[in-house]
């Protein structure tokens, strides 16, 4: 009751005219008025929510898991980069590696560079069971996705059953679940599986990673002619995503994209 009353009060201009009636219906675009109304309401709801300690600096934050100042300091991935694998290139051209050894996915969307302090957040999600981070990362990923070219299906990077039992959750599936819900896309949670329990890629030299994940994935569904986006937390060499793309391509997918939270940069 109090919340509703407060919202009504805050949604009114000082002169008592509501945001909706303040716009002339013939001149204003109804959708934009509703949108503005919704955004005002959301802002006011956020103001009513209790502040929580920022996961990075500990200061109280109403913006979400991390505060505005820490968000501004995150390594957002804005440098020109290869459209295929997201490796930084001087003018955004396709990189030399993708020209000579193109991966089976045709483009990559990445939100962050895998650098401090983002790397600590990703590790907190995977190994510290801070699962709320997956939701926050997925929302950032949604903002980056090209909405004019959405896929037919989303597939999360599968974990082997043994690793799933050990960790208790698949962070890529958590990411993909939120992304699918936000963009109203079809998520295929059980279509692909990891058939071999391989050592973690991060434990291997870059050159051995491709061999490590060769034939590591299986796919059960006919994807003939479908566009598929593969969701993962971090793209480093792209070997795992490429092996998963191979399994998906064998099932007929015609276009495969990679959607990742972070891209490892050459110097990191
Ligand atoms: Zn902070
Ligand atoms: Zn590339």
Ligand nearest to the CA of 242: 2
CA of 87 to the centre of ligand 2 (A): 5
Q: Which ligand is nearest to the CA of 96?
A: 2
pLDDT the model gives residue 25: 40
Lowest mean pLDDT among 20-24, 31-35, 104-108, 202-206: 20-24
**Ligand 2 geometric centre to CA of 120 (Å):** 25
At residue 103, the 3 state secondary structure works out as coil
Mean pLDDT score across all residues of the chain: 83
Query: How many helices (H) and strands (E) are present in the chain, helices listed first?
Result: 10, 9
pLDDT digits (tens, 9 = 90+) for 129-158: 889 999 999 999 999 999 999 999 999 999
Cα 173 to averaged position of ligand 2 atoms, centre (Å): 25
Centroid of ligand 1 to alpha carbon of 133 (angstroms): 14
- What is the CATH T-level fold of the domain 77-263, as seen in this structure? Rossmann fold (3.40.50)
- Compute the distance from residue 94 Cα to the ligand 2 centre, in Å: 5
222: preceding bond cis by omega (within 30 degrees): no
Distance 96 CA to ligand 1 centre (A): 38
For ligand 1, the distance from its centroid to the CA atom of residue 177, given in whole angstroms, is: 26
pTM: 0.79
Residue 76: pLDDT over 50: yes
215 is written with which tokens? 């034939």
**Residue written as token pair 């991390």:** 66
17-41 CB burial, b ≥16 within 10 A, e <16: eebeeebeeeeeeeeebeebeeeee
Nearest ligand, CA of residue 61?
1
> What's the confidence (pLDDT) of residue 149?
92
Residue labelled with tokens 């009504």: 8
> Ligand 2 centre from 266 Cα, in Å?
12
Nearest to 121 by CA among 55, 203, 54: 55
pLDDT given at position 259? 98
Q: Which bound ligand lies closest to the C-alpha atom of 55? A: 1
Angle subtended at Cα 218 by Cα 212 and Cα 219, rounded to the nearest 5 degrees: 145
How far, in Å, from the CA of 56 to the mean position of ligand 1? 5
pLDDT over 70 percentage in the chain:
76
């Amino acid at each position: 009751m109090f919340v509703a009353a407060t919202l009504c009060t805050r949604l009114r201009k000082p002169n008592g005219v509501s945001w909706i009636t303040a716009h002339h219906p013939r001149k204003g675009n109804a959708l934009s008025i509703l949108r503005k109304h919704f955004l005002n309401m959301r802002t006011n709801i956020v103001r009513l929510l209790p502040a929580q300690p920022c996961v990075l600096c500990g200061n109280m934050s109403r913006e979400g898991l991390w505060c505005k100042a820490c968000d501004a300091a995150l390594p957002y991935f804005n440098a020109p980069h290869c459209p295929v694998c997201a490796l930084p290139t001087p003018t955004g051209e396709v990189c030399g590696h993708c020209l000579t050894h193109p991966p089976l996915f045709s483009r990559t969307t990445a939100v962050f560079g895998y650098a401090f302090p983002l790397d600590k957040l990703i590790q907190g999600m995977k190994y510290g069971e801070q699962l709320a981070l997956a939701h926050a990362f997925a929302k950032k990923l949604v903002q980056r996705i090209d909405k004019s070219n959405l896929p037919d299906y989303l597939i999360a990077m599968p974990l082997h059953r043994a690793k799933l039992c050990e960790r208790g959750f698949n962070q890529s599936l958590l990411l993909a679940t939120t992304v699918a819900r936000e963009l109203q896309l079809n998520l295929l949670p059980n279509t692909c599986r990891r058939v071999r329990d391989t050592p973690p890629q991060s434990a291997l030299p870059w050159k051995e990673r491709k061999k490590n994940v060769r034939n590591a994935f299986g796919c059960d569904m006919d994807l003939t002619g479908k566009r598929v986006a593969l969701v993962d937390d971090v793209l480093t060499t792209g070997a795992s995503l490429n092996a998963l793309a191979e399994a998906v391509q064998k099932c007929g997918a015609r276009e495969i994209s990679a959607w990742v939270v972070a891209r490892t940069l050459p110097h990191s």
